[in-house]
Amino acid sequence: MRIFDPHIHMTSRTTDDYERMAAAGVRAVVEPAFWLGQPRTSAASFTDYFDSLIGWEPFRAGQFGVRHFATIALNPKEANDPRCRPVLDLLPRYLDKDAVVAVGEIGYDSMTPEEDEAFAAQLALAVAYELPALVHTPHRDKARGCERTLAVVAESGIDAGRVVVDHLNEVTVKLVRDSGCWLGFSIYPDTKMTPQRMVELLRAYGTERMLVNSAADWGRSDPLLTRATGEAMLLAGFSDDDVDKVLWRNPVEFYGQSGRLDLSDLDVAAAVDPQTGNSILRGGS
């Protein structure tokens, strides 16, 4: 099983995680810029963070055979802090970098006017830099947050096919599906989605434009839940090809729209085991 985790915060994970992810079939990840967990005291704090997302972290991932890409943005939560907002002027410098495959995470946390402004400004950057956009949706008041998110996306003029709306669940899936945007689902140990609920959504809505991520960070989360979802799909009767589409080809197609998704030299050719008919990783587990 080859796996591309399209949303994971590796900065907050250990090398043990990289090791276990690689053993489970994770060959590529996208790490979106997000909040610090504690308040940042100045925009300069972002410079070091963004530099590590495009320098140190890809190096660390590479030691385990994992290809690492980033998305860069002022995240919704920190958009409310006047000390952080000047980072908007620093973004263009990073959106030019090869390791950056989208603008994100942007969107809403508490749906404040400050978030409105940062969200619209950064969708405009995505259009200007011809990058896809990764959009976070609020964990509270999900349906209303999602409706407003889609309205702002539509107003920005960005092509819906270049936007993923993330952290969806049974309440928001249909709204986003009808919008033409990509659908992101974060599989968590005890909140958001579980592998079983994800399988039900894939049954109901199919595999087109569906992205599954672990969104693992420094909270209680699990970077192997992408793999667990693939296994739950197989148990439920989905084919190896369905699993490969959701866990590999879909994220490759979505972030490939950046023109920067270099997966050359990665050992990820899908092959078929002549004895079992199962797809296997060339030289892998």
By CB under 5 A, name the binding residues for Zn ion: 34, 215
Nearest to Zn ion of 229, 240 (CB atom): 229
Spatial CB neighbours of 129, under 8 Å, sequence gap ≥ 6: 92, 95, 96, 103
Question: Among all chains, which residue has been given the structure tokens 């959106």?
Answer: 95
Q: For residues 30 and 210, which CB has a smaller minimum distance to Zn ion in the complex?
A: 30
User: Helix, strand or coil for residue 12?
Assistant: helix
Smallest distance, Zn ion to C-beta of residue 234, A: 27
Q: Which is nearer to Zn ion, 164 or 215 (CB)?
A: 215
The C-alpha atoms of residue 152 and residue 106 are separated, in whole angstroms, by 11
Contacts of 96 (CB under 8 A, 6+ apart): 129
DSSP secondary structure of 34-58: ---SS--SSTHHHHHHHHHHHTHHH
Task: For residue 122, give the amino acid letter.
Answer: Q
Residue whose CB is less far from Zn ion, 193 or 215: 215
> Tokens 């974060």 correspond to what residue?
186
Closer by beta carbon to Zn ion, 71 or else 179: 71
By beta-carbon proximity to Zn ion, the closer residue of 74 and 215 is: 215
Q: How far is the CB of 135 from Zn ion (least distance, A)?
A: 11
Provide the minimum distance between the beta carbon of 95 and Zn ion in the complex, in angstroms, as a whole number: 18
CB 103 → Zn ion: shortest distance, Å?
14
The span from the CA of 6 to the CA of 19, in Å, is 18
Q: Which is nearer to Zn ion, 156 or 221 (CB)?
A: 221
Burial of 283 (C-beta count, 10 Å sphere; 0-12/13-18/19+): exposed
Distances (CA, A) of 3 to 61, 222, 256: 14, 14, 15
65 contacts: CB under 8 Å, gap ≥ 6: 22, 27, 266, 267
Minimum gap (Å) between residue 279 Cβ and Zn ion: 29
Least Å from the CB of residue 7 to Zn ion:
6
Element (H, E) at 279: strand 279-281
- Least distance in angstroms from the C-beta of 3 to Zn ion: 17
